Structure 1
């Protein structure tokens, strides 16, 4: 009896997995579409040039200010510590900040702010 139940459950799982794969495939691009070629010339499409510094490393950091920033300015203290670090040119530090009622450093309280640290400056 246990083997029959186990077999039935296994069969249902396999059927459900097969159904979900068909739906995912239908949502994907058609298999005959080659997205690496230009539609008009047939030549390969060049990757767009991204302006700015091409670093070997990019560090992404999220700072949620919460009540520690609102009441005591601890996230602002963290920003001041970050500005003391002299990052080499091959490292980008991108900081996103939000999540507090009141910033002690002039950031907008009502939205997320994204900054890049270069030298001792956090650029918005």
Structure 2
């Protein structure tokens, strides 16, 4: 059964993303790849990767937000990531795109229940990234 909820990791694709991060030999480049979006419409997987990477960047540079899976919290505690202090600024544009009209994830939320909760979660994540980008 698929997971679906307003928090980033209430999505199976985002949960799968954690395994890829854990297996990555170069976490910084993996995060950069995850926040780098194509020029066209964003599919669900791209959107989930952007949000998962954004949550991870916040967890490493600030405090983990509520709802992060234990596997990710363990990874954050046990791994040193090359300096990623420049990534919040890079991530802002991609998170904004996830909330936009060319985002399959946003479209799905707009068509169903819980859109306002999802939007609030993503906006809160965006605000933290914005504050981290100004440090």
Bin for the TM-score computed over the shorter chain: under 0.3
Indicate the structure with greater strand content: 1
**TM-score, normalised by the number of residues in structure 2:** 0.24
**TM-score, normalised by the number of residues in structure 1:** 0.26
Larger Rg: 1
Bigger RCO of structures 1 and 2 (CA < 8 A, at least 6 apart)? 2
